[in-house]
Chains A and B, each alone.
Chain A
Amino acid sequence: MHNVLRGWVLHNPLLHKELRQRMRSGRTVLGLSMYLLIIGAVAFVFMYLNVQGQTLLLQPARTAELFTFLSYLQLALISFVTPGVAAGVISGERERQTLSVLLTTPLLPASVIFTKWVTSISFLSLLMIMTLPLYSIVFLFGGVAPSQVLAVFILQLITLGAIAGASIFWSTFIQRTGWSTVLSYATVGGIFLGAGVAGYLFDSLSTHMPDQGLWSMLSGICYTINPIYMQAALESSRGFFTPTFHNSLVESVFQTVKTHNLTSSGSWMFFMSVYVGGCLVLLGLCSWHLRPGTFAAAVRRFGRWLVR
């Protein structure tokens, strides 16, 4: 374990190079500034419209709304930014003609893929961490516990990790960055919109079709793999607060969470399995595809080891 940590993280030359390159670039500074500016401006406008001169009034429900709004805005932004960051990591190397040289070094394909994934999510995590001071506003008025903020952050981290994994998958299997970016955004659309719409359709079918159990289960699956609903589940769990949005869409999301009992541990287990397991499978496929002979060689080595 120590060797793996040392080889893949502490003494990983590709990781050092990638972080050095990414963090040194002026584009990174600009991107971070723009992200913070957008989310800060939107949060300020939201607060201004909600508070409207009543700054001295203690309004925990409003704070909860602000937290929900901020966390969904963050989820939307990272879902939008992640494919842009991760969809070109391998295809970009291919297009820049640097991949072939990289693959003639002793670096393992799995290490290359893992490093690309880590550097992508490290940048995106930095975006999220930078918004923490904004979240601290919600603590001023109470209504949201730090543990809840942490839970939402972890959920978003898992979501962006999976989206980054899917984007790297497309980047590895598709030759062109343009196409891999399109497919990555299609994947995000599938997760957020597709799963939501499919869940709604299955819900409708369950009320009209004879085999209600099956349709209800399918809609539950669709909602469970949708981070929008799982974040709502997180925010409505433990009874911390109940948002008071007067918006039918938001209300329907929180109502669906209750109807399908998405706060249950089973739902969380399923969500984690799909996202973490799916991400690992996709990254594994990428490692295999990057240097096709590696898998066969590993099997041969394993066979020789067994014989010995």
Chain B
Amino acid sequence: MIRTENLCKRYSRVEAVSDLNLDVRAGTVFGFVGENGAGKTTTMSILATLTQPTSGRAYVGGAEVTADAAAVRRQIGYMPDVFGVYDDLTVAEYLEFYGTAYGVTTPVIEARRAELLDMVRLTDKADAYVNTLSRGMQQRLGVARCLMHDPQVLILDEPASGLDPRSRIDMREIVKGLRERGKTVLISSHILPELADMCDEIGIIAHGKLVACAAVEVVAARANGQRQLAFDLLSGGQALAHAFRHERGVTDVLTCNETSVEILYSGSEEDQVALVRGVTLAGYPLKAVREVGASLEDLFLRLTEEPVLPSGA
């Protein structure tokens, strides 16, 4: 649904986006992660037809963003990282304006407005002036605004930034709701655990290049090159942790107590099978072994600190 081919954007000497290759499948929520200035907003701005790429191509729903920008605009709902609202307009009028701007007919606008206000829990604010709403409410209204013309693709640039915890949870639930509606969502955020919770796939961008891109779990595993294993026991956790410190392939013992040990393991899957068998044969009362997802936050920090890897990883 969203595709970029060697996308580049250069501002005089600064290369904001460099040979970016992205492929977001229809109906998925794609998280775009990167530090400030990594190129997220520029990429989103290109996809929203607001910025012209220096080279390369970008497609939304098959339409190229520079050659067929009008077709792209009809297919997307764009919410920038920072956006304002119009004074002296009520919530209902605000949504009506954007609906009519997209050529939606009045009966459809009325029905959709009621539905979307219900979705973002602003029905009771329909007659309130937009500029009197709280930041969180305005962000939710922004999502409703994006959906007034029922686009297939939503481009949400840090929709939860600056929100209080309650509003962030609300926003997360809204994004999950969008996935249930079958929308393709490209969302950027710095709040990585939230992305892991609501995204199907993530792409990590650093210095304008995509350094990792896959399903959340796969990216974590691939980038780490090691797995986080949790051993649940009836007893003897401390002894097992001590034994693990001398085991080949065990990088680190993360936590340990009498009934649970968590380790970082870099061995192959065959070695892992042998490790588990060894624990059982050594007589430890093992209840279960679980593979725990690696922390996305750790992964992000590691990938963005290190020299850039080849794109399309």
Instruction: Show the binding face of A for B, using Cβ within 8 Å.
Output: 11, 13-14, 16-17, 20-21, 24-25, 96-98, 100-107, 292-294, 297, 300
Q: In the complex, A16→B99 CA distance in Å?
A: 13
Question: Judging by beta carbons under 8 Å apart, are A293 and B69 in contact?
Answer: yes
Contact assessment for B86 and A17 in the assembled complex, using a CB-CB cutoff below 8 Å = yes
In the assembly, what is the distance between CA of A50 and CA of B51, in Å? 62
Number of interface residues of B (CB under 8 A): 31
In the complex, which residues of chain A have a beta carbon less than 8 angstroms from the beta carbon of B97? 13-14, 16-17
Tell me if B76 counts as interface (CB < 8 A to partner A): yes
B82 at the interface (CB under 8 A from A): yes
The B contact surface, by secondary structure, is loop
- B49, B50, B93, B101, most chain A CB atoms within 10 A: B101
A-B contact pairs, 6 of them (CB 8 A): A13-B100, A17-B97, A20-B88, A98-B83, A104-B73, A293-B49
Closest to B81 in A: A97
C-alpha gap A106/B70 in the complex (Å)? 6
Q: Which of A24, A103, A104, A292 has the most CB of B within 10 A?
A: A104
Judge if B85 is at the interface, Cβ distance under 8 Å: yes
A105-B102, A107-B101, A293-B66 given; A98·B86 CB < 8 A: yes
Contacting residues, chain B, for A25 (C-beta < 8 A): 87-88
Please, how many angstroms separate the alpha-carbon atoms of A102 and B66 in the complex? Answer: 18
Q: Give the Cβ gap from B148 to chain A, nearest Cβ, in Å.
A: 10
| Also in contact, A20 and B102, with CB within 8 A (given A104-B48, A104-B76, A106-B74) | no
Contact assessment for A97 and B103 in the assembled complex, using a CB-CB cutoff below 8 Å: no
Q: How far is the CA of A17 from the CA of B87 in the complex (A)?
A: 11
Q: Is B218 an interface residue (CB 8 A)?
A: no
* Apart from the given pairs A97-B83, A100-B50, A106-B73, 15 other A-B contacts in the complex at a CB distance below 8 Å: A13-B100, A13-B101, A14-B97, A21-B89, A24-B88, A96-B85, A97-B82, A97-B84, A100-B48, A100-B78, A103-B50, A104-B49, A104-B76, A106-B74, A107-B101
User: Which chain A positions have C-beta within 8 A of B73?
Assistant: 104-106
Interchain CA distance A96-B89 in the complex, whole Å: 14
Tell me the bound Cα distance from A97 to B102 in angstroms. 19
Evaluate whether A292 and B85 lie within 8 angstroms (CB atoms) in the complex, with A20-B93, A106-B70, A297-B69 already known: no
A105 CA to B255 CA, complexed, in Å: 52
Chain B residues 76-119 with CB under 8 Å of chain A are 76, 78-80, 82-89, 93, 97-98, 100-103
The residues of A that contact B84 with a CB separation of less than 8 Å are 96-98
B52 within 8 A of A: yes
Once the chains are docked, how many angstroms separate the CA of A297 from the CA of B93? 32
The reply on B239 being an interface residue by CB < 8 A is no
Closest to B70 in A: A106
- Which of the listed residues A13, A20, A101, A106 has the most CB atoms from chain B within 10 Å of its own CB? A101
B67 within 8 Å of A (CB atoms): yes
Q: Which 8 A-B pairs have the closest CB atoms?
A: A13-B100, A96-B84, A97-B84, A105-B101, A104-B78, A21-B88, A17-B97, A98-B84
Nearest A-chain residue to B94, judged by Cβ: A17
The answer on a CB contact under 8 Å between A300 and B67 is yes
Residue of A with least CB distance to B52: A293
List residues of chain A with CB within 8 A of the CB of B70: 106, 297
Q: Could you tell me if A105 and B98 are in contact, using CB atoms closer than 8 angstroms?
A: yes
Are A21 and B74 in contact, with the CB atoms below 8 A? no
- Whether B89 and A100, one on each chain, are in contact in the complex, defined by CB atoms closer than 8 angstroms, is no
Q: Which residue of A lies closest to B66 (CB)?
A: A293
* Docked complex Cα distance between A293 and B48 (Å): 13
- B38-77 residues with Cβ-Cβ distance < 8 A to A are 45, 48-50, 52, 66-67, 69-70, 73-74, 76
Considering the complex, give the chain A residue whose CB is closest to the CB of B80: A100
Bound Cα distance from A105 to B102, whole angstroms: 6
B residues in contact with A101, CB < 8 Å: 78-80, 83, 145
Give the residues in chain B near A107, CB-CB below 8 Å: 101
Tell me the nearest residue of chain A to B98, going by C-beta. A105
B165 to chain A, nearest CB (A): 24
Q: Say yes or no: B102 contacts A21, CB within 8 Å.
A: no
Asked if A14 and B101 make an inter-chain contact with CB atoms under 8 angstroms apart, the answer reads: yes
The residue on B at minimum CB distance from A102 is B101
Nearest CB to that of B157 among chain A residues? A100
Report the minimal beta-carbon distance from A6 to chain B, rounded to whole angstroms: 12
Compute how far the CA of A102 lies from the CA of B145 in the bound complex, rounded to whole angstroms: 11
Query: Which residues of chain B in 111-140 are interfacial with respect to chain A, using CB atoms and an 8 Å cutoff?
Result: none
Contact B74 A104 (CB under 8 A): no
Closest chain-B Cβ to A94's Cβ sits at a distance in Å of 10
Establish whether residues A98 and B67, one from each chain, have CB atoms under 8 Å apart when the complex forms: no
A292 x B52 contact (CB < 8 A):
yes
**Least Cβ–Cβ distance between B138 and chain A, in angstroms:** 11
Contacts of B98 in A (CB 8 A): 105
When the two chains form their complex, are residues B85 and A106 in contact, meaning their CB atoms are under 8 A apart?
no
Q: Tell me the complex Cα distance, A13–B104, Å.
A: 11
